Chains A and B, each alone.
Chain A
Amino acid sequence: MVKTLLALFLALPGASQPVVLAEFCGVNNEADPAAVKTCESPDAINVESDKNGTTLRKRKGTTPFLTLAAGTAVNSIFALKNNSGNECLIIANNTGTLYRSINSGSAVSFSTITSGARLYCQSDNGKAYCFTSSNDTPFSYDCATYYAEQQANGYPNGKFNVFTQDRQLIAGTTDFPNRLHISQAGAVSTYTGGTDEISSWTEDIGRSGDKITGAFYVNGRVIVFKEYSIGGFNVTDQFNSTYYDISSRVGIVGPESALVHDGHIYFKGSDNEFYRMTGAPGDIEKLSRKLRRTVASVLTGKTRYIILTDKPDWDAGNYNGQGPLAAMSGEITFGSVMPSSLTAVDTSSSDWTGTKTNVVLTDQIGSVTLSSTTFKDYFSDGDLTSNPPWTSLTGNFQVSGGELYANTGFGAGETFHSMRTPLSISSGSWIFSHRFTDSLSDSCGGSEASGYYCFDFRINANYSGQYYSIRLINTSGAESLKIIKESGTGETTLADASISYSETNSHSWEITRSTIGNISVRIDGVFISSATDVAISSNAYLYIGAYSADNGNPSVNPKINNYFDTIYAYEYRTGGSIISRIFDTGFSTPMAGPLSSTATFTNHETAVYFDVRNSTSPNDDLWTSYVASSDTLNVGLTKRYWQYRARFWTQVSTKTPSLDAISLAATTTGQYITSCIEPGTGITAWGALELGGVFAGSGTNFTVENSTGSSCSDPSIGNSWAITSTGTTISTETAAAYKVRVTFNIGSTSDTARMDSLTVNWTEGSVAPPSYLSYWDDGIYFAISTGTTGNNRTVKYDLRSGSLWPFDIGMNSPVTFNNIMYFGSTSTAKVMKYSANDPDSAPNADDGSAINGYWRSKQLTAQDPFTEKALERVSIIAKKEAAGTLDTSWRINGNTNSGSFTVNLSTGQALIRHNYRVPVGQVGASYDVRVGNNSVYPFEVLGLKLDLSPKEWRPLP
């Protein structure tokens, strides 16, 4: 009852109603000024609350910390403490000069990057690993030594990086802007790949041409940003890492727009809003809801782009910019354009259909070998009269059971059998099998100087009685083998070797004689003896002589019989060749690759030589002469039709080189023409054309030409072409519509020139400059621009209260180090300092200039918003300052200032109480009050009170 009566009394006209403002909780310009909370302000700048939110004070000022020798702005700052304990700032000015300052010392230049580029660094083990927005050569720097990262080790030339506990992730390469390059575990500069769990690998996030715009490590996972999406990447190894989506609505435009602090990522989104997230799926919180009008004032111009990256995109263009066939192919790798290629392989008899001279395909299946002179008699025909015909000289060789044996009949005693057959092989190989039918415990027969010989196998025998003989000797059951020469002057033993010769087994003999007279004998594959002699060069026949012994008693086994079988002799031709079939590369001007061959040969004994030629036509006389080539050598052919010739050589008649396979590779340096590109009508500025893909090999690049017109229906598009650039970043195109013709340049067929994406960039509207974030003193500071193309605002997000406080400080790349926030000036080559360890010693001016700080209350309506009130009094409690004033004004119904007064802050008690009687007649439905000053002096307000006298209800307006 008492409360009701009191309320009624207070509501009566004339009863003053106080409105007390003793809590300050930031700016809220999202809602109508009459609808925000009492503690909020719809319009304030350069003020903040204390950490309890109970006082309102002007922000501190800024002072120059370092002055750079050159430039008109500071683009980037990175803070580092190296392993020597030195505190270091790495600074990039706006013209590309890098500076460092050690322990607050003066700025010393140490390198350069592209003018205007921004520097992105992350530290690891006392060293900064740095990249730039222009993909300059990455480097690391410990404020003592500059290390250019070795891209030969696969170190990606990206734009930015992030470290996990044991790996470095790099993104933003121009060829694969959608790719994360993950280093080897524990070796953050190693990107050479591999198959182990610790190996480096890459992950493509989205399609080729998509751009990763930031990557950050928080709560054990890497958060990957693109302009309009966010994902989380659980990095373990190349086999088990997983990726998940966090947002498909918002991302960031650059890595400077986000900050990791205490388990959260804070970022300014591509929609200009402020966000916070932990990286958990779906966990994303907007912080800037109450700064809607501030956010709305940020320039909304965007860099737009069209990406050609999918197969349908490419198929809409023309792969056949050059050549009789489609020079470029979209089929080899779907989603990419790359040169068509041809690899011609000959590896079987069906391939080697060309002209063959002294070579055969039959000796070794699947290979080409020299042909040979060959003698064979397997005695399977049952006689000695044919295939081949033998001429008996003595005794009676016979054929039985598919074998040749010496037989003289019962009782004939020891008999020598001999016969010959024409065979003109002076070198080569002679092979036969031999066995006995009895023990050699007795002598074979005949006489020999040291015993009896069993058989004689003569090669190089001629009608002059000359020969070389391979003779098996048995003396009292011990065997030996002799190589004997008969040159017409009597036999001469060239070699004599004891052997162990089983009587019951069949033995395989192999006799070889090279073209230079080397004679060797192998039995059962075991080398027995050799000799060298060149005295006998002519040859006419093969001679076999053998003893047999028979005691004439059938009940007694023959004493000895020699059996022969499978006599095989051959001699390879010294030279031969094969001319290949004709290959149609399909390209009018092919790029030749290396000849690749698989051949078997023996150095200094056999060889295969290659020649190649080419022609514009397969059937006329336009073929060029053969040009020598060899394995792994680029054949250098440039005409459409190709042919090779393989030449075989041997100087060992028993050996032939063999050609098992040969391949020739051809690709093309043709052109691809895109479909017509017509970006749009709202273009305010053009960006670069970007070509993404794989470029491996010396001399690999692209030549890009444009053909322009007023629209895609303009028939002149395609009539003429102008080179815009060579490389992956292409000059700006400004035409309303155009086609791009890309010529693929490669150094060899092993080079890779694969176009995965072609991106057309342009700008619509005015684009806001890069936004930056930094943490300092329980606040996250967002450096943004409002309505300009340079940063002119810094918004403090109070981590204690969640309140938002805009400051008019234009910051580039703020960074907090040792509890001091440094930032780059947007208009001078200075590194500025915002804060000090001791807040009381912080300046109250911005480099000597006044700070205009003020806070305006909400539209206050007292208890009854439906009646008018008279503003009677304004009361203020403020902290006494050394100097300065507090300017106070109020407005009625949100209109122009209705009155003001000034409080002198340098007189009075420590807490100044200033009660002000408002001029009579200040009647309205709502009031707001503004406090502040525009000076080099601070102020701190502890409370405000407005006394409002309600009026009678009356019709309004």
Chain B
Amino acid sequence: MNLSQLSDLAALFVGDPNRTRFTSTQYTAALNRAQEQFAFDTRSFFKDASTITVVDGTAAYSLPTDFLWEKKVTHKGLRLEPISRETLEFYQRSDDWSDDSGTPKYFVIDPEEARKTITLFPIPKADDAGANLILTYYPIPTAMASDSDEPFNSYALMAPYHIAVAAYGAWLLTTYETMTPEVMAKRAALNKVYQDKATEAADHFKNTASEPLRFRGGRVW
């Protein structure tokens, strides 16, 4: 479903078939928040690769703008392990780890707004340079704007879960309503539709071979 269809469906869910109760902006915003929430809740939607060119002597590189959560990182085909700054500082107490050079073995994700970088450790040298750093991650779905835009970056595999986007969007919209018993009942119903679909997606896109072990039937909360 595209944005127009999702809006119509959400309008029906909220009892606003002529879409007069809420504006198009409100519908679009609610649906975009819904796909984001669904992507976050299910981690069923990721980008395979994002190539970063490694430069001699440069440890930190910008993350993609739609970066939400990393899945894995490889350098020259070798998997890098995630490590935190605190761990590095814990194990290397007599030397400043941030100026160590060598072929990278670890990566540090700095998602805070001020940085939004991935930092390699140790600092690559000339032999490590080149377009050889591959980042696989869960992105924030591209916001829908035009009526023809589809959620989840138009990923066909996600089509069965569009209804969850509509339901969650409607759930969000009914937040504006006066909480009458009728509205509250409707909100509960909409939430259940969403939760069911989220669980289904998590089950469907369960662990792959490249994934670390996860509990079956569980969701990443």
Contact = CB atoms under 8 A, between A and B. Distances in A.
B10 to A, nearest CB: 13
A305 interface: no
A921 B176 CA distance: 7
Highest count of chain A CB atoms <10 Å: which of B16, B26, B180: B180
B177 interface: yes
Interface string A852-879: 0000000000000000001000000000
Interface in B19-57: 20-23, 26
A920 B18 contact: no
Contacts of B20: 901, 916-919
A14 interface: yes
B158 interface: no
A264 interface: no
B22 A920 contact: yes
A920 B21 contact: yes
A278 to B, nearest CB: 54
Contacts of A921: 176
A201 B124 CA distance: 127
Nearest to A901: B20
Highest count of chain B CB atoms <10 Å: which of A15, A16, A917, A951: A917
B178 A919 contact: no
A889 to B, nearest CB: 13
B111 interface: no
Contact of B21 (A14, A16, A918): A918
A14 B23 contact: no
Nearest to B21: A917
A919 B16 CA distance: 9
B179 interface: yes
Contact of B18 (A13, A14, A16, A916): A916
Interface string B182-200: 0000000000000000000
B64 interface: no
A35 B208 CA distance: 71
Contacts of B22: 919-920
Contacts of B180: 14-16, 949
Contact of B16 (A15, A870, A917, A951): A917
Highest count of chain A CB atoms <10 Å: which of B20, B26, B173, B179: B20
Nearest to A917: B21
B82 interface: no
Contacts of A16: 180
Interface in A923-957: 949, 951
A831 to B, nearest CB: 47
Nearest to B174: A920
Contact of A951 (B23, B173, B178): B178
Interface string A12-26: 011110000000000
A917 B18 contact: yes
B15 interface: yes
Contacts of A901: 20
B23 to A, nearest CB: 6
B176 A920 contact: yes
A870 B176 CA distance: 11
Contacts of A13: 178
Interface residues of B, number: 14
Nearest to A920: B176
A917 B15 CA distance: 9
Nearest to A16: B180
Nearest to A13: B178
A916 B17 CA distance: 10
Contacts of B16: 917
Contacts of A920: 21-22, 26, 173, 176-177
A525 to B, nearest CB: 126
B138 to A, nearest CB: 33
A267 B217 CA distance: 88
A816 B179 CA distance: 59
Contacts of A917: 15-16, 18, 20-21
A14 B176 contact: no
Contacts of B21: 917-920
Interface in A904-926: 916-921
Nearest to B26: A920
B15 A870 contact: no
Highest count of chain B CB atoms <10 Å: which of A14, A15, A901, A918: A14
A16 B177 CA distance: 12
Interface string B143-160: 000000000000000000
A607 to B, nearest CB: 114
Nearest to A922: B21
Contacts of A919: 20-23
A549 B115 CA distance: 189
A491 to B, nearest CB: 149
A41 B194 CA distance: 48
B178 A949 contact: yes
Contacts of B15: 917
Contacts of B23: 919
A916 B20 CA distance: 7
B29 to A, nearest CB: 13
A691 B58 CA distance: 109
Nearest to B17: A917
A13 B183 CA distance: 13
Interface in A56-97: none
A446 to B, nearest CB: 154
A920 B175 CA distance: 10
A918 B22 CA distance: 8
A940 B74 CA distance: 74
Nearest to B176: A920
Nearest to A874: B20
B130 to A, nearest CB: 55
A901 B16 CA distance: 14
A15 B182 CA distance: 10
A72 B21 CA distance: 52
A951 B178 CA distance: 8
Interface in A1-43: 13-16
Contacts of A918: 20-21
A915 to B, nearest CB: 9
Nearest to A15: B180
A776 to B, nearest CB: 41
A870 B178 contact: yes
Contacts of A949: 178, 180
A203 B13 CA distance: 83
A157 B120 CA distance: 114
A951 B22 CA distance: 19
A912 to B, nearest CB: 15
Nearest to A923: B178
A901 B19 CA distance: 12
A28 to B, nearest CB: 30
A873 to B, nearest CB: 9
A919 to B, nearest CB: 6
Contacts of A14: 178-180
A917 B16 CA distance: 7
Contacts of B179: 14
Highest count of chain A CB atoms <10 Å: which of B21, B177, B179: B21
Interface string B1-18: 000000000000001101
A14 B178 CA distance: 6
Given A917-B16, A917-B20, A949-B180, 18 more contacts: A13-B178, A14-B179, A14-B180, A870-B178, A916-B18, A916-B20, A917-B15, A918-B20, A919-B20, A919-B21, A919-B23, A920-B21, A920-B22, A920-B26, A920-B173, A920-B177, A921-B176, A951-B178
16 contacts: A13-B178, A14-B178, A16-B180, A901-B20, A916-B18, A917-B15, A917-B18, A917-B21, A919-B21, A919-B22, A919-B23, A920-B21, A920-B173, A921-B176, A949-B178, A951-B178
Interface of B: 15-16, 18, 20-23, 26, 173, 176-180
Interface of A: 13-16, 870, 901, 916-921, 949, 951
Closest 10 CB pairs of A and B: A917-B21, A920-B176, A14-B180, A14-B178, A949-B178, A917-B20, A917-B16, A920-B21, A920-B22, A870-B178
